[in-house]
């Protein structure tokens, strides 16, 4: 099967036989898991005992062979098997006098390179990009452009050329007034870097949710650590906070009262939570949705509640005029006037720390933040997530939580655990608030590109330093490891560090130098809610999914997942061209 290899164990030792166990390199402090009993050799027939097992190829494995009687360890082998490879492990005696045992691993049939489809897909997309860039450069040549004018509708062609591949030059970026305004050079230019950042996060999220080619690094980490899939949701939360700063200031400048803005915030929160519970609910796989198995937490629910808290917090202290702050430290004008917000966020973080490390959890050690299951040598099998899991089970009930957490595969946990649970929402608020800070920087230092970029760099460095201290630059041994399931504070500082740096690069390329229009990520970024809900609702419909010829092929899964993701980018582009935007 996919991500597996065949291992044939040949036992040339006499009775009593061997027990073969294995432990994954990605499973921290885990118990060895029994794989097979290998019978002893038949000395009269000179025939070795054999056993065949399937072994995982996603991570390095440690194989342990011991005697079936007395549990004596004979040998330990560490190896990273290759997908669809065929291997033999020969166990024999080197010296009868010293009873020295050797375990030799032999490759019978070499594995395939399962990463070649990624390289091929990368080359295909780079080829498409090169063709589009070449076409755009050719359109700048007068004879070529004149020829196109003659062949195509002049009005449509002119609109295509002037739109910079579909990206308008000027829009009112943070206008929330439903009254349409003409797109003209007189209106203030929208920060396309924000839409591009949001769209990039969304495109990766869609690709990951569709399966990511079934590669392990496009799946969520089992417990501690970080993969590509673990970056996209926090980036989305971050840029939501950035948009809050811009949108609220814009609405107040347009004359909306704070009460009117608050009603809009409450309505948007209600719609997001309702969509998450009713429309995008993974517990549909358990049968028709009912209160008995309704998952209460979720991605949209987390976004909705985070938006409510951060937007309301900003509404309390934002001003319609964002003039220069006349204080003792003008360099901190985007921070010091909002010190009550910072106190509120620090209090929230103190609550998270206290609940996580001080709350007593039945049958679990205080402050436990491990995966449970076979982790920590199987001492706490029912303690998955510690206080975070306990609070959800206590307040929500096990049937109203996510039933298939990522820790179930490697750590073999049996307890339901929700990565979008109650306690983790505190740190998603902190992350959105850091994104809010990025939005304030762009407001206070409008058109001062060096000031904006330097502050993005400083914030990125500060968050990186905090992450290094909390994690000790280690995956497992830090004070607070990076953990997406827990939404640990180190996870927040690490992903926000990456977010500040990535936003800096996109801002420089799109809004400062204008070397890049933001396409194609700009388009889904401007229709993010529609694309997210649409890709969930139509996930199992053609042309986003079809029956495969070989379901055990990474290549076929990658083709299907990339096709589905590309289709949503194309759909968002068509909607963009028709100026159709679904806003809540």
Is the pLDDT score of 88 beyond 70? yes
Would you give the DSSP letter of residue 46? Answer: T
400 belongs to the catalytic site: no
Q: Which of 28, 192, 220, 557 is catalytic?
A: 220
CB 490 within 8 A of CB 467: yes
CB 334 within 8 A of CB 311: no
**What are the backbone angles phi and psi of residue 288, rounded to the nearest 5°?**
-55, 135
Summarised one tens digit per residue, pLDDT across range 261-300 is 999 999 999 999 999 888 877 655 556 667 778 889 999 9
Nearest alpha-carbon partner for 376 in 325, 428, 413: 413
Give the whole-number percent of the chain exceeding pLDDT 90: 62
- Report the 10 Å Cβ neighbour count for 363: 9
Neighbouring C-alpha atoms within 13 Å toward the C-beta of 17:
10
Higher local confidence (pLDDT), 136 or 343:
343
As a whole number, mean pLDDT of residues 105-119 equals: 93
CB 388 within 8 A of CB 423: yes
Nearest alpha-carbon partner for 203 in 565, 535, 571: 565
- Report the 10 Å Cβ neighbour count for 457: 13
Q: Whole-angstrom distance between the N-terminal and C-terminal Cα of the chain?
A: 44
CATH code for residues 4-109: 2.60.40
Q: Which of 174-178, 391-395, 430-434, 552-556 has the lowest mean pLDDT?
A: 174-178
Question: d(Cα 240, Cα 314) in Å, to the nearest integer?
Answer: 13
Which tokens go with 139?
């359109």
Looking at residue 180, its pLDDT comes to 38
Looking at residue 440, its pLDDT comes to 92
Looking at residue 395, its pLDDT comes to 94
Give the whole-number percent of the chain exceeding pLDDT 70: 88
Q: Which of 250-254, 465-469, 520-524, 540-544 has the lowest mean pLDDT?
A: 250-254
As a whole number, mean pLDDT of residues 227-235 equals: 94
Q: Which of 82-96, 193-207, 495-509 has the lowest mean pLDDT?
A: 82-96
As a whole number, mean pLDDT of residues 424-451 equals: 93
- pTM value is 0.87
At 179, is the pLDDT very low, low, confident or very high (cuts 50, 70, 90)? Answer: very low
Which tokens go with 335?
């921070």
Q: Could you tell me the residue ranges of all domains in the chain?
A: 4-109, 192-202+224-322+330-511
As a whole number, mean pLDDT of residues 405-427 equals: 92
CB 28 within 8 A of CB 476: yes
Is the pLDDT score of 360 beyond 50? yes
Dihedral over Cα of 580, 250, 502, 220: its sign? negative
Is the pLDDT score of 324 beyond 50? yes
Nearest alpha-carbon partner for 498 in 426, 554, 438: 438
Instruction: List C-alpha distances in Å: 195 to 190, 276, 484, 503, 518.
Output: 9, 22, 24, 10, 8
At 489, is the pLDDT very low, low, confident or very high (cuts 50, 70, 90)? Answer: very high
């Amino acid at each position: 099967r996919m991500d597996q290899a065949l291992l044939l164990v040949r036992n040339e030792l006499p009775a009593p036989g061997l027990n073969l166990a294995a432990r994954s390199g990605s499973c921290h402090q885990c118990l060895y898991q029994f794989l097979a009993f290998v019978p002893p050799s038949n000395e009269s027939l000179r025939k070795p005992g054999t056993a065949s097992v399937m072994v995982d190829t996603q991570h390095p494995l440690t194989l342990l062979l011991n005697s079936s009687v007395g549990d004596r360890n004979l040998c330990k082998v560490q190896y990273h098997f290759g997908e669809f490879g065929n291997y033999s492990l020969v166990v024999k005696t080197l010296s009868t006098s010293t009873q020295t045992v050797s375990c030799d691993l032999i490759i019978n049939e070499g594995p395939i390179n399962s990463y070649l489809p990624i390289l091929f897909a990368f080359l295909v997309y780079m080829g498409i990009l090169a063709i589009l860039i070449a076409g755009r450069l050719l359109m700048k040549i007068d004879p070529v452009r004149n020829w196109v004018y003659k062949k195509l509708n002049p009005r449509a062609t002119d609109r295509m050329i002037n739109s910079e591949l579909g990206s308008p030059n000027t829009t009112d970026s943070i206008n929330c007034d439903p009254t349409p305004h003409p797109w003209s050079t007189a209106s203030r230019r929208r920060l396309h870097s924000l839409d591009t950042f949001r769209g990039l996060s969304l495109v990766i999220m869609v690709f990951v949710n569709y399966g990511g080619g079934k590669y392990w690094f496009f799946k969520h980490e089992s417990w501690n650590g970080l993969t590509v899939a673990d970056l996209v949701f926090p980036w989305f939360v971050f840029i939501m906070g950035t948009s809050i700063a811009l949108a609220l200031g814009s609405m107040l400048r347009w004359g909306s009262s704070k009460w009117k803005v608050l009603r809009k915030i409450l309505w948007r929160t209600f719609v997001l939570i309702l969509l998450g519970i009713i429309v995008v609910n993974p517990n549909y796989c358990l049968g028709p949705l009912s209160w008995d198995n309704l998952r209460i937490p979720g991605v949209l629910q987390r976004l909705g509640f985070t938006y409510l808290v951060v937007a309301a917090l900003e509404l309390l202290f934002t001003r319609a005029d964002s003039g220069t702050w006349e204080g003792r430290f003008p360099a901190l004008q985007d921070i010091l006037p909002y010190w009550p917000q910072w106190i509120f966020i620090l209090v929230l973080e103190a609550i998270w720390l206290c609940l996580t490390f001080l709350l007593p959890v039945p049958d679990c050690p205080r402050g436990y933040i491990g995966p449970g299951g076979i982790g920590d040598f199987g001492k706490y099998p029912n303690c998955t997530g510690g206080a975070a899991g306990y609070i959800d089970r206590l307040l929500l009930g096990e049937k109203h939580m996510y039933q298939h957490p990522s820790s179930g595969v490697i750590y073999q946990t049996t307890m339901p655990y929700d990565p979008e649970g109650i306690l983790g929402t505190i740190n998603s608020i902190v992350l959105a608030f850091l994104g809010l800070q990025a939005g304030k920087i762009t407001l206070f230092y409008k058109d001062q590109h060096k000031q904006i970029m330097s502050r993005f760099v400083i914030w990125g460095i500060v968050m990186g330093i905090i992450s290094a201290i909390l994690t000790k630059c280690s995956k497992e041994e830090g004070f607070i490891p990076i953990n997406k399931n827990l939404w640990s504070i180190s996870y927040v500082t690490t992903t926000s560090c990456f977010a500040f740096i990535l936003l800096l690069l996109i801002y420089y390329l799109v809004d400062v130098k204008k070397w890049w229009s933001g396409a194609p990520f700009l388009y889904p970024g401007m229709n993010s809610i529609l694309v997210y809900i649409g890709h969930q609702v139509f996930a199992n419909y053609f042309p986003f999914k079809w029956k495969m010829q070989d379901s055990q092929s990474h290549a076929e899964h990658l083709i299907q997942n990339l096709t589905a993701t590309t289709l949503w980018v194309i759909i968002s582009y068509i909607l963009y061209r028709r100026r159709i935007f679904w806003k809540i």
